[in-house]
Amino acid sequence: MKTYIVRRLLQMIPTLIGISIIIYAISALVPGDYITALNNPNMTQERADELRAIYGLDQPEYLRYFTWVKNMMLGNMGESFQHKKPVMEVVQDYVWNSFIIAFATLVLSWTIAVFTGVFSAKFQYSFFDKVITLIVFICMSLPSFFIGLLLIRIFALILGWFPVGGMVTAGSKAMGWDHIMDVLHHSFLPILVLTMLSTGSLTRYFRTSMLEVIRQDYIRTARAKGLKERTVIFKHALRNAMIPAITLLGFELPGLFAGAMITEQIFVWPGIGHIYLNAIHMRDYPFMLGFTMFLSVLTLLGNLLSDVLYGMADPRIRLK
Amino acid sequence: MRKKSWGLLVLLLVFSLVLGACSGGGGGNTATTTPGNEEGNKTESKGENATPPAEAAPEGVIEAVDMSLNPPAAVNRKDTLIVGMTDPKGVFNPLFRETTYDAYVCYVLFDSFIEVAADGTYTNSLAEKVDVSEDGLKYTYHLKPGVTFTDGKPMTVKDYYFTLKTLLDASYDGQSDPMSYNIVGAKEYHEGKAKEISGVKIIDDHTVEVSITEFSALTPVELGNIFILPEHYYGPSYKQGNLDGVKALNSKPLGSGQYKLTKYSPGQEVVFEANENYFRGAPKVKNVIFKTTTETTNLPMLQQGETDMDEGISVSEDNVEALKEMGFVDINLLPNNGYGYIAFNHKLKKFQDVKVRQALVYGLNRKEIVAGIYGPYADVINIPESTVSWAHTKENIETYDFDLEKAKQMLDEAGWKVGSSGIREKDGEKFKINFSATADNPVVDALLPIMTQNYKELGIEVVAETLDFNAIMDKANTGDFDMFFAAWGLTPDPDNTVYITNGAQNDIGYSNAKVDELMAKGKKTLDIEERKKIYKEMYQEMNKDVPVILLYQRKNMLAVNGRVEGFDFSPYKYFAYSLYQVEMQ
């Protein structure tokens, strides 16, 4: 197992080099740079040239690539043009806010999806199954900005149960428990929207995978043994049905840190999503590339994690 | 060329798909503000030391009607004013800030010798008086006595000198262009050949003399409107040629301003506390918070009393109606410092004929387009200047009212005859316009159908290609375009490089000797009445020569809870300057 992990980690190096070349090339081919994006009506050509020289934008593309890679290997992602501070500091400022709602959404949507998926499969084509399928499809197909605005209207404006947006009450000096409750209060609506969006596909996934397992011979054997139905379903069937889900879980890892651009924007959640999008609009290369690399590493680690978990969960798969 | 741009478009799409896949929330990118348009980067480094403008600012204020509707959340918050706005980037240093929102924070925290007034002129702020030598090459600033920074240390002109040094440093990467101020010795300091700036003479703690090699109408503002940083706070981390230490303090600013910053949570809020020793008197409201809002939340937050005012509500009939319905909100409509226009590529032969350009304006129903986007909250304009500027003129200005027949006649005169296909031709060339359209831009969405229809009737074919904003700016820089829509921000002073031959911002290739001459003359004239005459002549010439199709000047809105009083703002003087005067009921 250890050698397997080490080997996989080593394999990540050429993959990362490939990724870095591709994302760098794409960003280099995109027209415009930070100076043009600023669109300052008073900027003279001399000043623009000087700024390009300060930022290193006057260098040829391939040289800029090597400088960037060299600095990254030394642990220096560069300084964000827009924020005028190191990229990792900007990421730190926002990414944990995104993580809070992404993690809560992950836990909630998986829990709900497992239960609804299992029951829909167990009672396939029943009334319950049909209702669940209907609800799931409605949630999946509604655009996030629409549900978001609808929920703001109902829960914040008409009922007044939840705040319109933000992460804490303005000017709040609350610490400890009060602070946690304040954040929970504010995060309820965004988490609700994100959970609604992501539970749908997961439910369908678990239902299908459960349906396959439930028809297999060993389930019949388990039932014939006289085991309780609950044990059959949750212990024998679910475990096997969940194995393909491990792959999904691995893919969720980068999603935890990537930020949900639209939902965060609607609820003014101070996440990294709109910072990232803004960096692309403004051609803030250091941040744009740095954060993309960060997500790439997480994706690769997520893949590795799901492979390793696969080996642990399923004895039929032996990792060498 | 077409093939190449398709390639870029595909790449852009691929990139946005890659990113979209990472977003978790999924979907496109409709809910964000596009940077680089007239809102994103207002610059106000230029200005004018002059008498009030001839015409009063046409401000529309719709007063609150029923304060009993005020939500309890706002009424119960006695000592805190909450301002809703787009989130700043955390660059809280007046030299480095780039977005308008960072600038608002800086206006609250820092002061300068002279400050913009509501009418766009400048008045003394930290300066007791400013002396200018007869030849206009020496500026002497007298600092008011007893001014302190918020840590209690007194301010001296040495702090001003220190700020000049950081501005002129070789590693300075902010938005100002200090080398163009022509300060004596600036070049030597910039290049690291001198340790001091020879043109700055510190006479005593409260008097400083700055010498320049060349003056212009902008000099008083360039030198006087520099926000002063305390040397004892920023100085120790500054070494000539390296401003990293100064920039590291961006999120922990210290100035002499109305308020001091007590907390900054990125993306959430900026919290200020009153500076009891403010040199213009202690602010009346003890706490101020700049809270982040977005287009989807700014109205609901104001309605719930979560904010007391909002800076960024877009002006539309729906929004104004919604605010009126709330009843407790004062709606201030201010003309925006900027204008929307459609650019021609003057390097192309078809646009070089002034008759053709005029015909294209006559043949476009600008009124319908502008009304379609902004309703009554924008005006069609015919000169590239704000209606509230002292340089604005209506004298002898052709309004180019929509007139298809006249446009057709002018095109005929210019030699563009309707061919067999119904499209006008001249010398075998068909009149076809490739319009580079910005993606997700409401103006372009309203403009294109009307333009295509109008020009079709004229016998001109319009083909649109949709690109992102930066791609269009890149095309503009390289001259690879026919027409595009964009907007310019305006500074209080009419001087700019947009329409002068080979001007830094003249990416449309426009050239007119008369405009060049008048613009240069206006920059060198200090007397405001003289300048008015010069710019009047220049705008009349531009009005005839049609360098671009001018579209509109729209309005901005400041929605303020009726319990807040005492603001002094205008299109030139942002609300943040007068926070210290504000009172709450």
Check residue B23 and give its pLDDT: 35
H helical segments located in A56-86: 61-73
Asked whether the beta carbons of residue B46 and residue A42 sit closer than 8 angstroms, the reply is yes
Contact present, B558 and B332 (Cβ < 8 Å): yes
Check residue A319 and give its pLDDT: 61
CA distance A153 to chain B (A): 8
Contact present, B254 and B150 (Cβ < 8 Å): yes
pLDDT tens-place string over residues A259-316: 888 888 889 999 999 899 889 888 898 999 999 999 999 999 998 988 888 877 777 7
- B362: which residues sit within 8 A by CB, 6+ positions away? B400, B401, B402, B403, B404, B406, B407, B410
Chain A CB contacts of B468 under 8 Å are 281
Chain B CB contacts of A47 under 8 Å are 177, 179-180
Report the distance separating Cα B114 and Cα B117, nearest Å. 9
Query: Closest Cα partner for B537 from B564, B518, B562, B516?
Result: B518
Chain A CB contacts of B487 under 8 Å are none
Buried b (16+ CB within 10 A) or exposed e, A69-98: beebeeeebbbbbbbbbbbbbbbebbbebb
- B384: which residues sit within 8 A by CB, 6+ positions away? B339, B341, B488, B498, B499, B539, B542, B548, B550
What is the CB neighbour count within 10 angstroms for residue B406?
A: 15
CA distance A258 to chain B (A): 6
pLDDT tens-place string over residues A31-58: 888 888 887 767 778 888 888 888 888 8
Element (H, E) at A244: helix A238-258
Asked whether the beta carbons of residue A261 and residue B32 sit closer than 8 angstroms, the reply is yes
Structure tokens at B160: 């001003």
Asked whether the beta carbons of residue B24 and residue A102 sit closer than 8 angstroms, the reply is yes
What is the CB neighbour count within 10 angstroms for residue B310?
A: 24
Give domain limits for chain A.
2-73, 88-313
Please spell the DSSP secondary structure of B473-519, one letter per residue.
HHHHHHT--SEEEEEEE--SS---SSSSTT-TT-TT----HHHHHHH
Query: Closest Cα partner for B468 from B28, B22, B1?
Result: B28
Tell which wins on pLDDT, A317 or B268: B268
**Secondary structure, 3-state, B325-377:** HHCCEEEEEEECCEEEEEEECCCCHHHCCHHHHHHHHHCCCHHHHHHHHHCCC
Report the distance separating Cα B410 and Cα B355, nearest Å. 6
Chain A CB contacts of B11 under 8 Å are 26, 29-30
Name the percent of chain A in helix, strand, coil, to the closest 5: 75, 0, 25
Tell which wins on pLDDT, B54 or A64: A64
H helical segments located in B169-242: 186-190, 219-224, 231-234
* Residues β-bridged to residue A120: none
Query: Pairing between strand B309-310 and B548-561?
Result: antiparallel
Name the burial class of residue A135, with classes exposed (0-12), middle (13-18) and buried (19+) by CB atoms within 10 angstroms of its CB: middle
Query: Closest Cα partner for A308 from A258, A241, A249?
Result: A249
- Looking at 3.30.70.2740, 1.10.3720.10, 2.60.40.3500, 3.40.50.300, the CATH number of the domain A88-313 comes to 1.10.3720.10
ipTM of the complex: 0.86
Query: Closest Cα partner for A136 from A152, A154, A113, A115?
Result: A113
Asked whether the beta carbons of residue B177 and residue A145 sit closer than 8 angstroms, the reply is no
Residue whose token pair is 């001399």: A46
- Best residue of A268, A280, A299 to probe chain B, by most B CBs closer than 10 Å: A268
Buried b (16+ CB within 10 A) or exposed e, B465-488: bbbbbbbbbbbbeeebbbbbbbbb
What is the CB neighbour count within 10 angstroms for residue B317?
A: 11
Structure tokens at A145: 């900005």
pLDDT tens-place string over residues A73-121: 888 888 898 898 899 999 999 999 999 999 999 999 999 998 888 888 8
Amino acid at A280: I
Structure tokens at A82: 């827009």
Residues A123-148, mean pLDDT to the nearest whole number: 87
- Best residue of B225, B470, B480, B499 to probe chain A, by most A CBs closer than 10 Å: B470
Check residue B137 and give its pLDDT: 92
CA distance B484 to chain A (A): 15
Coil, helix or strand for A193? helix
Asked whether the beta carbons of residue A270 and residue B265 sit closer than 8 angstroms, the reply is yes
Report the distance separating Cα A246 and Cα A311, nearest Å. 10
Q: What pLDDT band is residue A204 in, cutting at 50, 70 and 90? A: confident
Report the distance separating Cα A189 and Cα A264, nearest Å. 11
Tens place of pLDDT for every residue, chain B, 585 residues?
A: 344 444 444 444 444 434 433 333 333 332 323 333 343 333 333 333 333 333 333 358 888 888 888 888 888 888 999 999 999 999 999 999 988 899 999 999 999 999 998 888 889 999 999 999 988 899 999 999 999 999 999 999 999 999 999 999 999 988 888 888 999 999 999 999 999 999 999 999 999 999 999 988 889 999 999 999 999 999 999 999 899 899 999 989 999 999 999 999 999 999 999 999 999 999 999 999 999 998 888 999 999 999 999 988 988 888 999 999 999 999 999 899 899 999 999 999 889 999 999 999 999 999 999 998 888 899 999 999 998 888 899 888 999 999 999 999 999 999 999 888 888 988 888 899 999 988 878 889 889 999 999 999 999 999 998 888 878 888 887 888 999 998 888 888 888 888 998 887 888 889 999 999 999 999 888 888 899 999 999 999 999 999 999 999 999 999 999 999 999 888 888 999 999 999 998
Chain A CB contacts of B490 under 8 Å are 41
Chain A CB contacts of B23 under 8 Å are 258-262, 273
Report the distance separating Cα A86 and Cα B90, nearest Å. 12
The size of the A-B interface in CB pairs under 8 A is 233
pTM of the model: 0.84
Asked whether the beta carbons of residue B471 and residue A30 sit closer than 8 angstroms, the reply is yes
CA distance A129 to chain B (A): 26
Report the distance separating Cα B227 and Cα B110, nearest Å. 6
Domains plus CATH for chain B?
1-27+110-249 (3.90.76.10)
Asked whether the beta carbons of residue B470 and residue A148 sit closer than 8 angstroms, the reply is no
Chain B CB contacts of A100 under 8 Å are none
- A188: which residues sit within 8 A by CB, 6+ positions away? A162
